[in-house]
Amino acid sequence: MSAVEGSSHPPQGPDGQASSAVMSYREALRLALREELARDERVFVMGEEVGLFEGSYKVTAGLLSEFGADRVRDTPISEEGFLGAGVGAAMLGERPVVEIMTINFLLIAMDQLVNHAAKIRAMFGGQVGCPLVIRTPNGAGNQLTAQHSQSFEGWFASVPGLKVLAPANPADAKGLLKAAIRDDDPVLVIENLPIYKEKGEVPLDPDHVTPIGRAAVAREGSDVTLVAHSFATVRSLAVAERLAQRHGIQAEVVDLRSLRPLDVQTVAESVSKTNRAVCVEEGWPSYGVSAELAARIQNACFDDLDAPVERVGMAEVPLPYAKNLELAALPGEERIEAAVLHSLGQA
Protein backbone atom coordinates (compact mmCIF):
# COMPACT_ATOMS: atom_id res chain seq x y z
CA MET A 1 0.00 0.00 0.00
CA SER A 2 1.46 3.37 -0.97
CA ALA A 3 1.76 6.29 1.40
CA VAL A 4 -1.34 7.99 0.07
CA GLU A 5 -3.64 5.02 -0.38
CA GLY A 6 -6.47 4.21 1.97
CA SER A 7 -8.70 7.30 1.82
CA SER A 8 -11.56 6.90 -0.66
CA HIS A 9 -12.60 10.57 -0.39
CA PRO A 10 -9.53 12.49 0.82
CA PRO A 11 -9.98 16.16 1.78
CA GLN A 12 -9.00 18.54 -1.01
CA GLY A 13 -6.61 21.44 -0.74
CA PRO A 14 -7.04 24.80 -2.52
CA ASP A 15 -5.26 23.46 -5.62
CA GLY A 16 -7.59 20.47 -5.87
CA GLN A 17 -4.98 18.03 -4.63
CA ALA A 18 -5.61 15.72 -1.68
CA SER A 19 -4.55 17.47 1.54
CA SER A 20 -4.54 14.31 3.62
CA ALA A 21 -4.88 10.54 3.39
CA VAL A 22 -5.59 7.63 5.70
CA MET A 23 -2.51 5.57 6.44
CA SER A 24 -1.01 3.49 9.21
CA TYR A 25 1.37 4.77 11.88
CA ARG A 26 4.31 2.98 10.23
CA GLU A 27 3.38 4.34 6.80
CA ALA A 28 3.24 7.86 8.23
CA LEU A 29 6.75 7.43 9.65
CA ARG A 30 7.96 6.12 6.30
CA LEU A 31 6.43 9.09 4.48
CA ALA A 32 8.18 11.48 6.87
CA LEU A 33 11.52 9.79 6.21
CA ARG A 34 10.98 9.80 2.45
CA GLU A 35 10.05 13.48 2.39
CA GLU A 36 13.01 14.54 4.55
CA LEU A 37 15.50 12.39 2.62
CA ALA A 38 14.29 14.06 -0.56
CA ARG A 39 14.28 17.56 0.96
CA ASP A 40 17.75 17.60 2.52
CA GLU A 41 20.76 15.69 1.20
CA ARG A 42 22.35 15.83 4.68
CA VAL A 43 19.68 13.45 6.01
CA PHE A 44 20.53 9.76 6.01
CA VAL A 45 19.12 6.68 7.80
CA MET A 46 21.22 4.08 9.57
CA GLY A 47 20.59 1.08 11.79
CA GLU A 48 20.31 -2.68 11.94
CA GLU A 49 18.44 -4.14 8.96
CA VAL A 50 17.03 -0.78 7.80
CA GLY A 51 18.14 -1.36 4.20
CA LEU A 52 17.95 -4.79 2.61
CA PHE A 53 15.52 -6.16 5.18
CA GLU A 54 13.55 -2.86 5.09
CA GLY A 55 13.46 -2.47 8.87
CA SER A 56 12.41 -4.83 11.63
CA TYR A 57 8.95 -3.21 11.59
CA LYS A 58 9.04 -2.27 7.87
CA VAL A 59 9.14 1.47 8.53
CA THR A 60 12.03 1.89 6.07
CA ALA A 61 10.51 -0.30 3.34
CA GLY A 62 11.47 0.90 -0.14
CA LEU A 63 13.89 3.60 1.01
CA LEU A 64 17.07 1.73 0.06
CA SER A 65 15.97 1.24 -3.56
CA GLU A 66 14.83 4.86 -3.77
CA PHE A 67 17.78 6.64 -2.14
CA GLY A 68 20.66 4.15 -2.32
CA ALA A 69 23.10 2.66 0.15
CA ASP A 70 24.81 5.98 0.98
CA ARG A 71 21.55 7.38 2.36
CA VAL A 72 20.08 4.19 3.87
CA ARG A 73 22.84 2.34 5.68
CA ASP A 74 22.75 -1.11 7.25
CA THR A 75 24.98 -1.35 10.32
CA PRO A 76 26.57 -4.12 12.38
CA ILE A 77 24.79 -5.28 15.54
CA SER A 78 26.56 -2.70 17.70
CA GLU A 79 24.27 0.00 19.08
CA GLU A 80 27.07 1.80 20.88
CA GLY A 81 29.16 1.82 17.71
CA PHE A 82 26.64 3.04 15.17
CA LEU A 83 24.96 5.53 17.51
CA GLY A 84 28.43 6.93 18.19
CA ALA A 85 28.97 7.17 14.43
CA GLY A 86 25.69 9.07 14.22
CA VAL A 87 26.83 11.50 16.91
CA GLY A 88 30.06 12.17 15.01
CA ALA A 89 28.24 12.66 11.71
CA ALA A 90 25.82 15.10 13.33
CA MET A 91 28.70 17.11 14.85
CA LEU A 92 30.16 17.45 11.34
CA GLY A 93 26.93 18.82 9.87
CA GLU A 94 25.04 15.75 8.69
CA ARG A 95 21.52 14.92 9.91
CA PRO A 96 21.50 11.20 10.71
CA VAL A 97 18.35 9.31 11.65
CA VAL A 98 19.45 6.30 13.70
CA GLU A 99 17.02 3.43 14.15
CA ILE A 100 17.39 1.35 17.32
CA MET A 101 15.45 -1.89 16.97
CA THR A 102 13.81 -1.50 20.40
CA ILE A 103 14.22 0.99 23.23
CA ASN A 104 15.54 -1.87 25.37
CA PHE A 105 18.64 -2.01 23.14
CA LEU A 106 19.24 1.71 23.57
CA LEU A 107 20.61 0.90 27.03
CA ILE A 108 23.71 -0.48 25.29
CA ALA A 109 24.36 3.00 23.87
CA MET A 110 23.49 5.05 26.96
CA ASP A 111 26.97 6.58 27.10
CA GLN A 112 26.79 7.84 23.51
CA LEU A 113 23.33 9.31 24.00
CA VAL A 114 23.48 10.71 27.54
CA ASN A 115 27.16 11.55 27.98
CA HIS A 116 27.80 12.76 24.46
CA ALA A 117 24.85 13.67 22.21
CA ALA A 118 22.85 15.42 24.94
CA LYS A 119 25.84 17.44 26.21
CA ILE A 120 27.70 18.49 23.07
CA ARG A 121 26.03 21.88 22.55
CA ALA A 122 26.56 22.92 26.18
CA MET A 123 30.11 21.58 26.45
CA PHE A 124 31.17 23.30 23.21
CA GLY A 125 29.58 26.59 24.23
CA GLY A 126 27.07 26.42 21.38
CA GLN A 127 29.78 26.29 18.71
CA VAL A 128 28.99 22.67 17.80
CA GLY A 129 25.55 21.10 17.63
CA CYS A 130 24.27 17.55 17.32
CA PRO A 131 21.25 17.40 14.97
CA LEU A 132 20.72 13.69 15.55
CA VAL A 133 17.44 11.75 15.57
CA ILE A 134 17.07 8.38 17.28
CA ARG A 135 13.96 6.40 16.34
CA THR A 136 13.00 3.44 18.50
CA PRO A 137 9.81 1.61 19.51
CA ASN A 138 8.80 0.76 23.06
CA GLY A 139 5.75 -0.94 24.49
CA ALA A 140 4.46 -4.22 25.81
CA GLY A 141 1.58 -6.61 25.24
CA ASN A 142 3.13 -8.91 22.65
CA GLN A 143 4.62 -11.50 25.03
CA LEU A 144 8.17 -10.31 24.36
CA THR A 145 9.05 -10.77 28.04
CA ALA A 146 10.82 -8.60 30.58
CA GLN A 147 13.89 -7.65 28.52
CA HIS A 148 11.99 -6.51 25.41
CA SER A 149 8.80 -4.88 26.75
CA GLN A 150 9.98 -1.89 28.75
CA SER A 151 9.05 1.79 28.55
CA PHE A 152 12.06 3.90 29.45
CA GLU A 153 10.90 7.29 28.21
CA GLY A 154 10.94 8.69 31.76
CA TRP A 155 14.64 7.88 32.02
CA PHE A 156 15.54 9.73 28.83
CA ALA A 157 13.15 12.64 29.44
CA SER A 158 15.10 13.39 32.63
CA VAL A 159 18.24 14.26 30.63
CA PRO A 160 18.83 17.98 29.88
CA GLY A 161 19.91 18.58 26.31
CA LEU A 162 17.85 15.71 24.90
CA LYS A 163 14.38 16.20 23.43
CA VAL A 164 11.98 13.27 23.81
CA LEU A 165 8.85 12.80 21.67
CA ALA A 166 6.13 10.14 21.88
CA PRO A 167 3.51 10.31 19.10
CA ALA A 168 0.22 8.51 19.70
CA ASN A 169 -1.34 8.62 16.21
CA PRO A 170 -0.24 8.55 12.56
CA ALA A 171 -0.56 12.32 11.98
CA ASP A 172 1.75 13.11 14.89
CA ALA A 173 4.06 10.23 13.98
CA LYS A 174 4.72 11.96 10.68
CA GLY A 175 4.67 15.53 11.98
CA LEU A 176 6.87 14.96 15.01
CA LEU A 177 9.45 12.89 13.13
CA LYS A 178 9.76 15.62 10.51
CA ALA A 179 10.13 18.25 13.24
CA ALA A 180 12.79 16.11 14.92
CA ILE A 181 14.81 15.73 11.71
CA ARG A 182 14.74 19.50 11.16
CA ASP A 183 15.70 20.27 14.77
CA ASP A 184 19.25 21.31 15.56
CA ASP A 185 19.48 19.29 18.79
CA PRO A 186 19.37 15.53 19.51
CA VAL A 187 15.82 14.19 19.53
CA LEU A 188 14.64 10.77 20.68
CA VAL A 189 11.44 9.77 18.86
CA ILE A 190 9.78 6.95 20.79
CA GLU A 191 7.34 4.98 18.66
CA ASN A 192 5.09 2.20 19.91
CA LEU A 193 4.85 -1.42 18.86
CA PRO A 194 1.10 -1.96 19.44
CA ILE A 195 0.09 1.04 17.30
CA TYR A 196 2.34 0.61 14.24
CA LYS A 197 -0.65 -0.82 12.37
CA GLU A 198 -3.24 1.73 13.58
CA LYS A 199 -4.59 4.06 10.88
CA GLY A 200 -5.60 7.69 10.81
CA GLU A 201 -5.79 10.81 8.67
CA VAL A 202 -2.34 12.24 7.88
CA PRO A 203 -1.54 15.61 6.26
CA LEU A 204 0.23 15.24 2.91
CA ASP A 205 1.82 18.70 2.85
CA PRO A 206 5.58 17.98 2.92
CA ASP A 207 6.16 21.14 4.95
CA HIS A 208 3.60 20.30 7.64
CA VAL A 209 5.25 19.52 10.97
CA THR A 210 3.91 18.96 14.47
CA PRO A 211 5.58 21.49 16.79
CA ILE A 212 7.84 20.05 19.45
CA GLY A 213 6.86 20.90 23.02
CA ARG A 214 3.11 21.32 22.53
CA ALA A 215 0.53 18.95 23.95
CA ALA A 216 -2.84 18.44 22.25
CA VAL A 217 -6.34 18.12 23.67
CA ALA A 218 -7.29 14.85 21.97
CA ARG A 219 -10.82 14.84 23.45
CA GLU A 220 -12.65 17.63 25.22
CA GLY A 221 -14.48 17.05 28.48
CA SER A 222 -15.55 18.77 31.68
CA ASP A 223 -15.41 16.24 34.54
CA VAL A 224 -11.84 14.90 34.71
CA THR A 225 -8.57 15.23 32.78
CA LEU A 226 -6.70 12.16 31.55
CA VAL A 227 -3.07 13.02 30.78
CA ALA A 228 -1.17 10.48 28.69
CA HIS A 229 1.28 9.87 25.86
CA SER A 230 1.90 7.20 23.22
CA PHE A 231 -0.22 4.05 23.65
CA ALA A 232 -1.52 5.32 27.00
CA THR A 233 -3.29 8.03 24.99
CA VAL A 234 -4.98 5.38 22.86
CA ARG A 235 -6.13 3.57 25.99
CA SER A 236 -7.29 6.82 27.61
CA LEU A 237 -9.40 7.80 24.60
CA ALA A 238 -11.10 4.40 24.68
CA VAL A 239 -11.76 4.80 28.41
CA ALA A 240 -13.15 8.29 27.88
CA GLU A 241 -15.73 6.93 25.42
CA ARG A 242 -16.62 4.12 27.84
CA LEU A 243 -17.05 6.57 30.72
CA ALA A 244 -19.39 8.71 28.65
CA GLN A 245 -21.52 5.73 27.62
CA ARG A 246 -21.62 3.93 30.98
CA HIS A 247 -21.55 6.76 33.50
CA GLY A 248 -22.27 10.00 31.68
CA ILE A 249 -18.77 11.21 32.65
CA GLN A 250 -17.12 13.58 30.19
CA ALA A 251 -13.36 13.03 30.37
CA GLU A 252 -10.91 15.36 28.67
CA VAL A 253 -7.82 13.65 27.23
CA VAL A 254 -4.56 15.56 26.91
CA ASP A 255 -1.98 13.90 24.66
CA LEU A 256 1.45 15.13 25.77
CA ARG A 257 3.15 14.26 22.46
CA SER A 258 6.39 15.75 23.82
CA LEU A 259 7.93 14.71 27.16
CA ARG A 260 10.90 17.06 27.00
CA PRO A 261 10.10 19.86 26.55
CA LEU A 262 6.90 19.29 28.53
CA ASP A 263 3.84 21.43 27.85
CA VAL A 264 2.64 22.03 31.41
CA GLN A 265 0.46 24.96 30.37
CA THR A 266 -1.96 22.88 28.28
CA VAL A 267 -2.20 20.28 31.05
CA ALA A 268 -2.79 22.94 33.73
CA GLU A 269 -5.48 24.68 31.67
CA SER A 270 -7.35 21.41 31.32
CA VAL A 271 -7.07 20.48 35.01
CA SER A 272 -8.15 23.97 36.03
CA LYS A 273 -11.31 23.37 34.01
CA THR A 274 -12.10 19.82 35.19
CA ASN A 275 -10.62 20.03 38.73
CA ARG A 276 -9.40 16.42 38.59
CA ALA A 277 -6.44 14.67 36.96
CA VAL A 278 -5.53 11.07 36.18
CA CYS A 279 -2.02 10.56 34.74
CA VAL A 280 -1.52 7.42 32.68
CA GLU A 281 1.70 5.84 31.38
CA GLU A 282 2.81 2.46 30.07
CA GLY A 283 5.99 2.51 32.17
CA TRP A 284 6.58 1.98 35.87
CA PRO A 285 5.05 4.90 37.78
CA SER A 286 7.77 5.21 40.44
CA TYR A 287 10.09 8.06 39.38
CA GLY A 288 8.30 8.04 36.04
CA VAL A 289 6.40 10.37 33.71
CA SER A 290 3.25 10.25 35.85
CA ALA A 291 5.29 11.13 38.95
CA GLU A 292 6.65 14.23 37.22
CA LEU A 293 3.19 15.17 35.98
CA ALA A 294 1.63 14.77 39.42
CA ALA A 295 4.22 17.13 40.90
CA ARG A 296 3.76 19.70 38.12
CA ILE A 297 -0.04 19.57 38.33
CA GLN A 298 -0.03 19.92 42.11
CA ASN A 299 2.22 22.96 41.82
CA ALA A 300 0.31 24.64 38.99
CA CYS A 301 -3.25 23.71 39.99
CA PHE A 302 -3.19 23.40 43.79
CA ASP A 303 -6.25 25.61 44.35
CA ASP A 304 -8.18 24.03 41.47
CA LEU A 305 -7.89 20.37 42.45
CA ASP A 306 -10.95 18.80 44.05
CA ALA A 307 -9.20 15.44 44.54
CA PRO A 308 -5.65 14.10 44.67
CA VAL A 309 -3.94 13.43 41.36
CA GLU A 310 -4.38 9.77 40.40
CA ARG A 311 -1.65 7.78 38.64
CA VAL A 312 -1.90 4.62 36.55
CA GLY A 313 1.11 2.69 35.24
CA MET A 314 2.57 -0.75 34.71
CA ALA A 315 2.90 -3.04 37.71
CA GLU A 316 6.37 -2.63 39.18
CA VAL A 317 7.68 -6.06 38.23
CA PRO A 318 9.73 -7.45 35.33
CA LEU A 319 6.99 -8.14 32.80
CA PRO A 320 5.96 -11.83 32.79
CA TYR A 321 5.77 -13.93 29.63
CA ALA A 322 2.46 -15.66 30.46
CA LYS A 323 -0.31 -13.78 28.66
CA ASN A 324 -2.66 -13.59 31.63
CA LEU A 325 0.11 -12.24 33.88
CA GLU A 326 1.28 -9.82 31.21
CA LEU A 327 -2.23 -8.39 30.84
CA ALA A 328 -2.59 -8.14 34.62
CA ALA A 329 0.63 -6.10 34.82
CA LEU A 330 -0.26 -3.62 32.06
CA PRO A 331 -2.19 -0.38 32.69
CA GLY A 332 -5.33 -1.62 30.97
CA GLU A 333 -8.57 0.22 30.39
CA GLU A 334 -10.24 -1.23 33.50
CA ARG A 335 -7.53 0.20 35.75
CA ILE A 336 -7.75 3.61 34.10
CA GLU A 337 -11.53 3.64 34.45
CA ALA A 338 -11.26 2.65 38.12
CA ALA A 339 -8.82 5.51 38.76
CA VAL A 340 -11.22 8.00 37.18
CA LEU A 341 -14.15 6.76 39.24
CA HIS A 342 -12.02 6.93 42.39
CA SER A 343 -11.06 10.53 41.57
CA LEU A 344 -14.75 11.38 41.21
CA GLY A 345 -15.65 9.61 44.43
CA GLN A 346 -17.66 6.94 42.61
CA ALA A 347 -15.42 3.94 43.28
**SS3 of residue 126 by DSSP:** coil
Characterize the bridge pairing of strands 20-24 and 199-203: antiparallel
Closest CA to 35 of 182, 196, 164, 191: 182
**CA 255 – CA 284 distance, rounded (Å):** 18
Q: Is 62 left (phi over 0), alpha (psi -120 to 50) or beta?
A: left
Q: Which of 35, 48, 148, 281 is catalytic?
A: 148
**CA 322 – CA 36 distance, rounded (Å):** 41
Q: How many helices (H) and strands (E) does the chain have?
A: 12, 14
Which amino acid would we find at residue 216? Answer: A
How far from chain centre, in Å, is Cα 100?
A: 14
The Cβ of residue 328 has, within 10 Å, a number of other Cβ atoms equal to 13
Closest CA to 136 of 85, 92, 189, 64: 189
Q: Which of 27, 79, 201, 337 is catalytic?
A: 79
Which distant-in-sequence residues (6+ apart) come within 8 Å of 291 by Cβ? 154, 285, 311
**CA 267 – CA 247 distance, rounded (Å):** 24
Q: What angle do CA 331, 336, 337 make, to 5 degrees?
A: 145
**Residue 35: what are its φ and ψ, rounded to 5°?**
-65, -40
3-state DSSP percent of the chain in helix, strand and coil, to 5 = 40, 20, 45
Which amino acid would we find at residue 314? Answer: M
How far from chain centre, in Å, is Cα 23?
A: 17
Which amino acid would we find at residue 269? Answer: E
To the query of whether residue 201 is one of the catalytic residues in this protein, the response is no
To the query of whether residue 79 is one of the catalytic residues in this protein, the response is yes
- Whether the link from the prior residue into 261 is cis, omega within 30° of 0, is yes
Give catalytic residues, as residue numbers: 79, 148
